[in-house]
Amino acid sequence: MSDSKFEYIDNVILNVDKDRVEKKKKSPVKPLALLILGAAILWYGANHVNTAQSDTLSSVVIMLGLGIAIWGIVAFLVKKECYVYKPTGKVLKKHKVYIAANQSSRLYDILEQDRYDDLQSLTRSGQSNLSLEAYCSEDEQYALLQVMEFIPYNDVPMTPVKVCEGTQAKQVAYFLK
């Protein structure tokens, strides 16, 4: 087993850039809205759809209301946390891109020399032992990235976490699309 001298991006994300990233719980507004909407549709289906005219329509409306209400309940129970870039308040989304193994030295050179516009020239692969893990803000103003190599039986960090802002972050975001 090979021991890496670098920390995993997920373990250092909150400390890598002077507390500019924070962990937040996602807002309960959407689950609450789904729950209320589902309950309203359920109540309407049970009380206002004329069952004499159409038992099927009433059943469909009730099932729809039930489905939306259950979706709201599940969304409440699965309270997810997310990382947020403090200066803009934008959520960081995690990405993983597999890169052809023969592109390894080019990838390391690009990151070492901060030439993020050259990321586009790398050959992607459906699956590879070489990957780039990144967190990128929704507004493409901030990105964190790290090269990982699969060494049985884990992905192992092969570079420190790189911090990109502004134009560099936009270049990283463009590559991740």
pLDDT digits over 55-93, tens only? Answer: 777 788 888 988 998 988 888 787 678 888 888 888 889
Q: Give me 111's structure tokens.
A: 């990151």
pLDDT at 2: 44
Return the axis-axis angle of helices 55-77 and 29-47, rounded to nearest 10°: 160
Per residue in 90-143, pLDDT tens?
888 999 999 998 988 999 999 889 888 898 888 888 888 999 999 999 999 999
Per residue in 46-59, pLDDT tens?
777 665 557 777 78
pLDDT at 49: 66
Task: Label the pairing between strands 142-151 and 162-165.
Answer: antiparallel
- Close Cβ partners of 24 (under 8 Å, ≥ 6 residues apart): 81, 82, 83, 84
- Close Cβ partners of 8 (under 8 Å, ≥ 6 residues apart): 146, 157
For the chain, the distance separating the N- and C-terminal CA atoms, rounded to the nearest angstrom, is 33
pLDDT at 146: 93
For the chain, the structural domain boundaries read 9-23+84-176, 28-77
pLDDT at 1: 38
Mean pLDDT of all residues in the chain? 85
